[in-house]
Amino acid sequence: MHVPWLAREYERTCNECGQTWRVPKWAVHPPMQGLPMASRTSVGDPDSVVAANAQLAEEVAVFHRCPRCESARYKQRPIRS
């Protein structure tokens, strides 16, 4: 179900060159997994959680830099549709 006031995407504008790019919500607020506690064996291997988080961090890193000038300084606003 689509809720109109929740943003599905965000638009980022580079402070250096003015380039704008869109970022999906999952990349703005990535769903990182926590490390399992020792008593919780159903969660799985801690190494697999670390590997999954590292993979997600690599995918998200693409959106944290301006595609034109590679600056990490930007303004962000939600796009609601």
The per-residue pLDDT for range 26-53, each reduced to its tens digit, is: 888 766 666 555 545 555 677 888 888 8
Is residue 4 domain-resident?
Answer: no
Mean pLDDT of the chain: 82
Q: Are strands 20-24 and 9-14 parallel, antiparallel or unpaired?
A: antiparallel
CA–CA separation, 8 vs 30, rounded Å? 13
Is residue 2 domain-resident?
Answer: no
Q: How many domains does the chain have?
A: 1
CA–CA separation, 49 vs 24, rounded Å? 23
Task: Report whether pLDDT(70) > 70.
Answer: yes
| pTM score above 0.85 | no
Domain that holds residue 63: 9-34+44-79
Is residue 1 domain-resident?
Answer: no
